[in-house]
Amino acid sequence: MVQMLLSRKAACNAHGQDSSYFLGWEEYEKNPYDPDTNPTGIIQMGLAENQALADFMGQLRGNKVELEWRNLVLTAGSTSANETLIFCLAEPGEAFLLPTPYYPGFDRDLKWRTGADIVPIRCSSSNGFRITKRAVEKAYRQARKQSLRVKGVLVTNPSNPLGTSLTGGEIRTLLDFALAKDVHLISDEIYAGTAFAGSGGGYVSVLEVMQGHPLHSDLAGRVHVVYSLSKDLGLPGFRVGALYSGNAAVVAAATKMSSFGLVSSQTQYLLAALLSDRDFTARYVAENKRRIAERHGRLVEGLRRAGVECLESDAGLFCWVDMRPLLLADTFEAEMELWRKVVYEVGLNISPGSSCHCGEPGWFRLCFANMTADTLDVALRRLQDFVASSGRGGGRHPATDGRPRGPIRLARWMMMGLSSSCERGY
């Protein structure tokens, strides 16, 4: 049944992959040379192994999930991985459900060349923008009303732009939905290594939850994970991404498509050496998380002094800021007017929630991916001065449920000198 859920492109044989040029690669995988255990095997003279990346992904997940390197396909960044999966799973005019707010680049990455469509799962600030079964079912019905065939759900975990990790309950809801509707689930987990301690229980991969699902075997062919080294190792310019799938047909089709976005052999060789040093990667990730938490404290205090509240978060390179008290009206027009003031008068480049398809005006994403502590202090002083001059900060928005929002647990320091990995390649 899962095989029937693939696109015609994924199943066709017009790719030329059956020539002897490509079949040689397949034979090597069946019979790889080893000087001790298989001295007569085939010697590979051009490809790097995926094992190091599979091990690193498992390490980030607390080694609770064992990833099989044969299920991994390298791509030129996560953008390429997401688009490749859509090509494999959907025909033009078919749709994927995405919870709002979502990364604005998905409108380009998932739709532009594939011809696929996006139907939003409307999430609300009343429950911290959590995904509910009711919201997913409503989006599915809306797609059907639009005569769109739904091929799956795509989530970012941890979320971009919310900076929150999905709970085990949310993931189980999505897995059950995928089974009930006979569709796929794509989990973009490029921020896995940025997750730090939070009150929500912390990051858990969809692979781990699927592993404990009673219908694990039925889910294995319809759950797919996207990953990248851009965020966790601060290497956006290397353009190294991957997709992981237990569906052999998807892996085979994605491998063929990856020829249009290859990772260079030199880059693969360098990263294989880096990722094979598990002591270094463990220390790097731990130190990175420590610095995130440290910057988080600085950010929280500055935002509090400005009278601005945020959604409580536990991962990512950004925070989801509640600036609804600063709106002159509860409209998206008022949100854009506030955004223009912040950009042109205050001098801060932030993203309005409407650009992320948020259904409630007044939310903004603030990204601090490559900012020094001094620059952050300057930004916070500007924001404090602006809120004070407006005379509207520090209060709760009337649309909230009345509960005080916890302090934002978000910040990030990454390699200096790199271009912002938050705004480019998200």
- The domains located in the chain, with CATH, are 2-277 (3.40.640.10), 280-390 (3.90.1150.10)
Question: What residues are labeled active site?
Answer: 103, 188, 190, 231
Contact 221, 247 (CB under 8 A): yes
Assign residue 28 a region (left: φ > 0; alpha: ψ between -120 and 50; beta: otherwise).
alpha
Question: What three-state secondary structure class fits 233?
Answer: coil
**Got the DSSP string for 60-109?**
HTTT-S---GGGEEEESSHHHHHHHHHHHH--TT-EEEEESS--TTHHHH
At 289, the pLDDT band (50, 70, 90 cuts) reads confident
pTM: 0.84
The sign of the CA dihedral 305, 308, 312, 313 is negative
**Rounded to the nearest 5°, which phi and psi values hold at 226?**
-110, 140
Q: What is the pLDDT of residues 141-168, one digit of tens each?
A: 999 999 999 999 999 999 999 999 999 9
CA angle 286, 72, 187 (to 5 degrees): 65
pLDDT at 416: 32
Q: What is the pLDDT of residues 56-104, one digit of tens each?
A: 999 999 889 989 988 999 888 889 899 999 999 999 999 999 999 999 9
In the DSSP assignment, the letter for residue 321 is E
Q: What is the pLDDT of residues 296-305, one digit of tens each?
A: 778 878 888 8
- Cα–Cα distance list, 300 to 157, 294, 310, 409 (Å): 23, 10, 9, 7
- Reading the block at residue 323, the tokens are 């600036």
Mean pLDDT value across the chain: 84
Q: In what order do the strands lie in the sheet with 95-99?
A: 72-75, 241-245, 223-228, 184-188, 150-156, 95-99, 117-121
At 393, the pLDDT band (50, 70, 90 cuts) reads low
